Amino acid sequence: MREVLLGADLGTSGLKLVALDLDGAVVAEAEAGYALDRPGPDRAETEVRTWRSAFDETLAAIAPALAASRVRAFGLAGQMHGAVLVDAGGAALRPALLWPDRRAVAEAGLWRALPVADRAALANPIVPGMTGPMLAWLARHEPEVVSRAAAVLLPKDALRATLVPGADPRVTDRSDASATLLWDVAADGWSAAAVAGTGIPAQLLPAVRPSTDVVGTAELLGAAVPVVVGGADTPLALLAAGAGTAVQINLGTGVQVLRPVAVPRPTADPLVHTYADGTGGWYSMAALVNGGSAWAWVCGVLGMSWAQLFEAAAASAPGAGGVRFRPFLAGERGGVAGPDDRGGWTGLHPDTTRVDLARAAVEGVLAAAGAAFGLLDVPADGSPVVLTGGGGRSAVVQQILADVLGRPVRHVRVRSASAVGAAMLAGRGTGADVVPRWEAGPPVGPRC
**At residue 278, does pLDDT exceed 90?**
no
The conformation of residue 100, written as its DSSP 8-state character, comes to: T
pLDDT band at residue 237 under the 50/70/90 scheme: confident
Q: Give the predicted TM-score (pTM) of the model.
A: 0.86
Q: Let me know how many helices (H) and strands (E) the chain has, helices first.
A: 14, 23
Domain ranges in the chain are 2-232
User: Per-residue pLDDT tens for 330-371?
Assistant: 888 778 888 889 999 999 999 999 999 999 999 999 999 999
Average pLDDT, the chain: 93
Residue 448's pLDDT band (cuts 50, 70, 90): low
Q: What is the spatial distance between Cα 20 and Cα 194, in angstroms, rounded to a whole number?
A: 40
- Interval 393-435: pLDDT, tens: 899 999 999 999 999 999 887 768 899 999 999 999 999 999 9
Q: Are 79 and 180 in contact (CB under 8 A)?
A: no
So what's the pLDDT on residue 383?
86
Helix axes 306-315, 292-302, angle to 10 degrees: 90
Compare 237 and 321 and report the one with higher pLDDT.
Answer: 321
- pLDDT score at 413: 75
Average pLDDT value for residue range 86-101: 95
- Could you give the CA distance from residue 97 to residue 107 in angstroms, rounded to a whole number? 14
Give the pLDDT of residue 438: 73
Contact 116, 268 (CB under 8 A): yes
Query: For residue 324, how many C-alpha atoms fall within 13 Å in the half-sphere facing its CB?
Result: 7
2-232 belongs to which homologous superfamily? ATPase, nucleotide binding domain (3.30.420.40)
C-alpha of 175 from chain center: 11
Residue 66 has pLDDT above 90, yes or no: yes
Question: Which positions ≥6 away from 379 have C-beta within 8 Å?
Answer: none
Percent of the chain whose pLDDT exceeds 90: 78
Q: How many CB atoms lie within 10 A of CB 50?
A: 18
Residue 242 has pLDDT above 80, yes or no: no
Of the given ranges (39-53, 205-219, 240-254, 313-327), which has the lowest mean pLDDT? 240-254
DSSP conformation class of 92: B
% of the chain with per-residue pLDDT over 70 = 98
Task: Return d(Cα 145, Cα 137) in angstroms, integer.
Answer: 12
Contact present, 81 and 176 (Cβ < 8 Å): no
Q: Provide the CB-side half-sphere exposure for 282 (13 A, CA).
A: 17
- Residue 318 has a pLDDT of 95
Question: For the residues 86-113, what does the mean pLDDT come to?
Answer: 95
